[in-house]
Amino acid sequence: MPVGVELQEKLYICPGETRPISRSVHLSRLAAFFPACRECPFRCDTGQLASSTVERLQSTEHRVERQSLFTPEGVRGAYINELTRSKAGQMAAALARLLWQESPLIGRAETAQQGHRPRRPSVVVGHDERPSSPDIVTGVATSLRRMGCQVIDISLTTKPCFWFSVDHLDADAGIFVTGAGSPPSWTGLDFCGRQGTPLSQRPARMTCCESAGELDLNRIEDQLRQPFSRSTRHAGPYRTFQAAVPYEAGLWKHFHALRRLTIACACSNRLTRRTLERIFETLPCELHLVDVPHRVRDPLDSNDADVERLSQAVQRQQADLGVLIDEDSQRCGFVDERGQHVSSERMTQLLCQLMLTGHPGETAAIETSLIHSVYPVVEQSGGKLVNGGEMMAEMSHTMRDQNATIGGGDSGYLWFREACPTSDAVITLAHVLGLLSRSDAPLSEVAHN
C-alpha cells in the first residue's frame, strides 16, 4: 500500500514485509510474478507493463499458493519467488533452536573438563552446483552462527559426500542447499541429523507421541511457527573443511577384482563426473561420459529423454552397460549392452543376491512396495528381509538398527552399509561392476536369467 503521501515518489509495502519499496521495484516484482503480488491491493497498478504481461498477471490472480515449502524429504521452492536467503535462514534457525533444546544452557553444571564454555551444536553446511545455491547457503550459515552454532562449511559438494562429512566430523546436524529433483530455477534445503541420518517428514502412521524427541522435518516446520530467541549472545565459530579427499579415499575399496568393461555414464553433476574419472584412471575399465542437460529426469523411466540418450550412447560405444546418475548423485538407473532399460526392481534383486550370497544371516532392508518381489531372492540367498519403509529417514534408521548389508526398492536409491548407511550412485556402480565381473555373461543375460 502507498505510504508517505508527502513524498513525491510513491512507495509501496509488499504483503508480509515491513520495508517500503519504490514504484520501479513494485513494477519489476509484478513483471516477475512475485507471489506476494497476488495479495497486494495495488496489483492493478501495472504502469507501462506489456499487455501480455498484464494478461498473465490477471490469469494468475486466483492461483493457490503452496501452503508449505516442505516436501517429504526436504524443502523446495522457486528461488527468490518462494525461497529466499532470509527464509532459508529462518529454517536454519529453527533447526538450531531444536539442537539447543537437546543441550540447553540453563542448569548445566560446569566441570573442569567442560570449562566455562558449553558445547555448541555443530552443523555442517554445503551446497550443490546450482547458481542460486551460494546465496542460499550464505543465509543458512549466517543464521546458524547467529544462533550460536559452530558452522563447518564444506562448500561445493555432492549429497553422498555431504552425508559422509556430517558423520566423519561427528556433527550434530547438517544442511545441504540443493534443488535436486526440481526445475533448474528452484532451490531447496535437505537436512540430516547425527551420523548423516537424513531427516524426512514423519510417516503418516506414526503419531506425535511416538516420534517425540526424534528430529524430523515436522518438528522443524512446527518450530518455524513458534517465537524463539537466541540461545546465546555469542556468535558461533566458523571453519571450513575439505571433504572430497577423505570421501573419495573411502570409495576406492569398492572397485576391485574387476574385469575389462566399457561403461557409458550419463550424469549432469560435474563433481560426480570428476570423481568417476579419477577412479577409472587406475581401473582396467573404460569410462565414456555422456552429456545430459540440467533438467528434472526419471532414471527409472525407459521413455525418459536422458535414458534414451544413454541407450544410444551404449550402442554407439558398444559399451557393456550404461548408468544414468541423477542430480543428487544417489538415484540411478541402468541399461544393458543392448540399450535396454533394466528395472530398479531387478537391480535390487541382483544386488541383494550379490551381497547376501555366502553371508548367511545378513539382512536386507527393502522398501515396502517391493517386499513381496524381493523376498524370494533374499530367502534363497540365505539372508533376512526387513521392512525399510518408504522415507529415506526410515531406511537409514532401519539399516543402522538392523545392521543391514543392503537396502533399496523401486525408488532407484540403493543403500549400503558403510561407516553410516549411505545411498551413493558411485558405490552402486562399483557393486554392479563387481556383479558383472563374476562371469563373462553380459548384463542382459544376468538381468533376465
Q: How far is CA 106 from CA 110, 146, 198, 441, in A?
A: 11, 19, 29, 65
Lowest-confidence segment of 52-66, 140-154, 311-325 by average pLDDT: 52-66
Q: How much is the pLDDT for 213?
A: 64
Q: How much is the pLDDT for 122?
A: 98
Q: How much is the pLDDT for 214?
A: 85
Average of per-residue pLDDT across 346-352 = 98
Rounded Cα gap, residues 179 and 71, in angstroms: 12
Rounded Cα gap, residues 99 and 121, in angstroms: 6
pLDDT in tens, 234-280: 999 999 999 999 999 999 999 999 999 999 999 999 999 999 999 99
401 Cβ contact list (under 8 Å, min separation 6) = none
- Please, are residues 76 and 188 in contact by the beta-carbon 8 Å criterion? yes
Give 11 or 399, the one with higher predicted confidence: 399
Q: How much is the pLDDT for 390?
A: 94
Q: How much is the pLDDT for 112?
A: 44
Q: Residue 188 pairs with which residues in a beta bridge?
A: 76
What's the chain's average pLDDT? Answer: 90
Q: How much is the pLDDT for 114?
A: 47
Average of per-residue pLDDT across 207-235 = 81
What pTM does this model have? Answer: 0.84
Angle in degrees, CA 421, 426, 430, rounded to 5: 95
pLDDT in tens, 102-121: 876 544 454 444 444 558 99
Domains defined along the chain, listed by start: 11-59 (no CATH), 70-103+118-242 (3.40.120.10), 247-448 (3.40.120.10)
Q: How much is the pLDDT for 6?
A: 43
Residue 161, pLDDT > 70, answer: yes
Average of per-residue pLDDT across 174-199 = 97
pLDDT in tens, 13-62: 887 677 788 888 888 888 887 877 877 877 788 888 788 777 777 776 65
- Please, are residues 325 and 347 in contact by the beta-carbon 8 Å criterion? no
Q: Rounded to 5, what percent of the chain is helix, strand, coil?
A: 35, 20, 45
Residue 9, pLDDT > 80, answer: no
Q: How much is the pLDDT for 49?
A: 79
Give 341 or 17, the one with higher predicted confidence: 341
Q: How much is the pLDDT for 94?
A: 97
Residue 65, pLDDT > 70, answer: no
Residue with the three cell numbers 532407484: 412
Residue 405, pLDDT > 70, answer: yes
Rounded Cα gap, residues 83 and 123, in angstroms: 21
Sheet holding 186-192, edge to edge: 70-71, 74-78, 186-192, 173-177, 122-127, 150-156, 238-240
Give 404 or 63, the one with higher predicted confidence: 404
CB atoms within 10 A of CB 8: 5
User: How many Cα atoms sit within 13 Å of 96 on the Cβ side?
Assistant: 30
Residue 180, pLDDT > 80, answer: yes
Residue 2: band (very low, low, confident or very high) from pLDDT cuts 50, 70, 90: very low
Residue 286: band (very low, low, confident or very high) from pLDDT cuts 50, 70, 90: very high
